A and B are shown apart, each in its own frame.
Chain A
């Protein structure tokens, strides 16, 4: 309302697309041409990137730590998977249902999560995810339990593109969804709503004073994050046509946290880059050394922490600062 009277130019400027960003989004096209045989991996990277983006929204922007984000990923995956296994194989309908289901779950649980300190939040989110895991594990008739949910049949995307063995449709599908949701997230974090979240993360005490309802805002972003995660889960279920119990596992939540921190939380590109770096490293290392790849992956993480605080994005930022400094010095 009264916002209009402020000078919004800096906000608008931040909202504008930088040329480097446009170049970044050409990467999926380049990847498609360069690695035509790795589309399955590339698809899963895109899905992980989307999932990571959802955590970034709540952790990087709103400061809510979570070790149980897989709850929403898995919930969405099962929602889409069960829908398709029961005869409704339209991919987009599946995405919508998964998003709604996960959002509902996120909204309900947000009230539990908003209480307490970081450690408490970590453990409450973890607890919720683990409870869902146990429920899915026990509902063998519905979910297939540890054996996984089978019999998912997808109808062609938009009625035209069938999901093929080489994963071409799956790849473009995942990339398109990622891009659209990234664009939406980008809008969101640059909106007044997004800025109020940043404010809450930086100084909770002061936000009510400027009229921002802290809990309602946090609850809202948590719900949005959950919906994003649900969509990512649904994408995985649809493109692999299988839902494994480990979509809900602690490992998935913890790994996601790693990926985000590795990429750099609090920056949307950090989430995407983290997914690319982590998944590629994982893939390359485990191909080179199927037994002991974890050692090198671990070493990579340690090195990143020691030499590039705040993840890859932090490292990049410092590099560009240094470059900027050099340039200034030269002038």
Chain B
């Protein structure tokens, strides 16, 4: 009995090693699967569109491969603010499609819902737009390549204080990022000596700002601070603002740059001229990287304009590529995260880095003004605060 068993063992071991060799070589050619959970339909469909554009643009430039492996990008629609669908999509990407990396997440509730999946499945999760500060604290496998609301808010609040704005009324959408923006604005603005004369939280789904605008007009602050998710609400707000002549009543707008982002800027129209906002990216950001990016973007998607969300999609893929370069193609979550922490590179928006402690993004925030450039409305950068960490974290 004894010898035969050992022979069996040896054979088995040989077979196993042969198999694992075969598996290894197969692994090298196996596609790298990246699953994106994005709003592709519904009111926030343009988020998904832009992020997917950016991600595909990167793949197009890298020849469709990352770390020598062909990349398969799987996009799942979560229809916008429907966390349960986002969670199901993420879970299916992991369980059924066996993706190596999760990405996307247009809105905060989606990211919150999916974070436990990243923890449980041990997959890196790259947030490409959802902007509540707390998202990266929900799982150790979450990274962010977009921005956080406090990160955008602090510089513009600071700018407001320095430019003679004393009394501000805040209007934010009633969800995570809105609360973050409100809190951060209050903090920075009052620390600089400003005063908050009123505040309101508007429903996330409500395009009628008329009553809120009238209230603001009656209170007459120096400025209104605004954050609502970009899209219909920004357009509606600006229309109301102009219709009610708030500007003539001496009220200015202080806002994060999603108010004037390129995808909706044309819909806002000339009403946007002169608006001053803060954001990490502008189509007319002056750098060779951005020139190349916008050229490639228009070549690939002539009907759309590149915006910050598309850049997040682009940088998300770039982060994966750079990280895998460092790990030698190893996508196990712990190695991936270790390599990604502290990673820095030059994006179309400028130089950016992943904070090694918080896994959140550190980047330059620009103060911009809407002007007409070559017949197009553009956000022209005139001031910048370099290396802004997310102030929403300790």
Residues of A whose CB lies within 8 Å of any CB of B are 37-41, 44, 137-138, 140, 145-148, 150, 165-167, 236, 240-242, 244-247, 286-287, 290-294
Contact = CB atoms under 8 A, between A and B. Distances in A.
15 contacts: A40-B95, A140-B179, A148-B83, A148-B109, A150-B112, A150-B138, A165-B117, A166-B95, A167-B95, A244-B109, A246-B81, A290-B40, A290-B41, A291-B49, A293-B77
Contacts of B92: 37-38, 40-41
B374 interface: no
A244 B120 contact: no
A166 B92 CA distance: 9
A165 B87 contact: no
Nearest to B117: A165
B75 interface: yes
Contacts of A287: 76
B108 interface: yes
B94 interface: yes
Contact of B174 (A140, A166, A247): A140
B77 A286 contact: yes
Q: Which of A165, A167, A241 has the most CB of B within 10 A?
A: A165
Contacts of B88: 40-41, 44, 240
Given A148-B112, A166-B95, A236 B84 contact: yes
Contacts of B113: 148, 240, 242, 244
B174 A146 contact: yes
B282 to A, nearest CB: 27
Contact of B82 (A44, A147, A166, A244): A244
A146 B87 CA distance: 15
Question: Main SS of the interface on chain A?
Answer: helix
A294 to B, nearest CB: 6
A178 B262 CA distance: 49
Contact of B87 (A37, A138, A166, A242): A242
Nearest to A152: B116
Contact of A293 (B41, B95, B96, B179): B41
A273 B49 CA distance: 34
Contacts of B108: 147
Nearest to B173: A146
Interface in B75-106: 75-77, 81-84, 87-88, 91-92, 94-96
B84 A146 contact: no
B209 interface: no
B204 interface: yes
A164 to B, nearest CB: 9
B175 interface: yes
A37 B203 contact: no
B45 interface: yes
Nearest to B107: A146
A71 to B, nearest CB: 17
A146 B95 contact: no
Interface residues of B, number: 36
Q: Which of A39, A241, A244, A246 has the most CB of B within 10 A?
A: A244
Given A44-B88, A165-B94, A244-B81, 5 more contacts: A40-B88, A165-B120, A240-B87, A242-B84, A291-B41
Contacts of B83: 148, 242, 244, 246
A236 B75 CA distance: 24
Q: Which of A40, A147, A242 has the most CB of B within 10 A?
A: A147
In the A-B complex, the 8 residue pairs with the smallest Cβ-Cβ separation, listed nearest first, are A37-B96, A146-B175, A244-B83, A290-B77, A290-B40, A147-B176, A148-B83, A40-B91
B45 A167 contact: no
B175 A145 contact: yes
Interface in B44-96: 45, 48-49, 75-77, 81-84, 87-88, 91-92, 94-96
Contacts, number: 94
A328 to B, nearest CB: 47
B126 to A, nearest CB: 19
B95 A37 contact: yes
A237 B75 CA distance: 25
Nearest to A35: B96
Interface string B274-318: 000000000000000000000000000000000000000000000
B134 to A, nearest CB: 9
Interface string B160-183: 000000000000001110010000
A167 B87 CA distance: 12
Contacts of B95: 37, 39-40, 165-167
Contacts of B121: 165
Contact of A246 (B82, B116, B117, B138): B82
B376 to A, nearest CB: 26
A311 B49 CA distance: 35
Contacts of A246: 81-84
B149 interface: no
Given A150-B112, A236-B84, A290-B77, A165 B91 contact: yes
B132 interface: yes
Contacts of A291: 40-41, 45, 48-49, 77
Contact of B91 (A167, A236, A247): A167
Nearest to B90: A40
B39 to A, nearest CB: 10
A294 B43 CA distance: 13
B213 to A, nearest CB: 21
Contact of A244 (B41, B75, B84, B176): B84
A293 B82 CA distance: 17
A47 to B, nearest CB: 10
A320 to B, nearest CB: 35
Contacts of B120: 165
Nearest to A241: B116
Contacts of B204: 146
Contacts of B45: 291
Given A290-B76, A291-B45, A147 B96 contact: no
A241 B96 CA distance: 20
Nearest to B86: A244
Contacts of A146: 81, 109, 174-176, 204
Q: Which of B121, B138, B203 has the most CB of A within 10 A?
A: B203
A150 B394 CA distance: 21
B41 to A, nearest CB: 6
Q: Which of A37, A167, A246 has the most CB of B within 10 A?
A: A246
Interface string B350-376: 000000000000000000000000000
A268 B37 CA distance: 35
Nearest to B114: A242
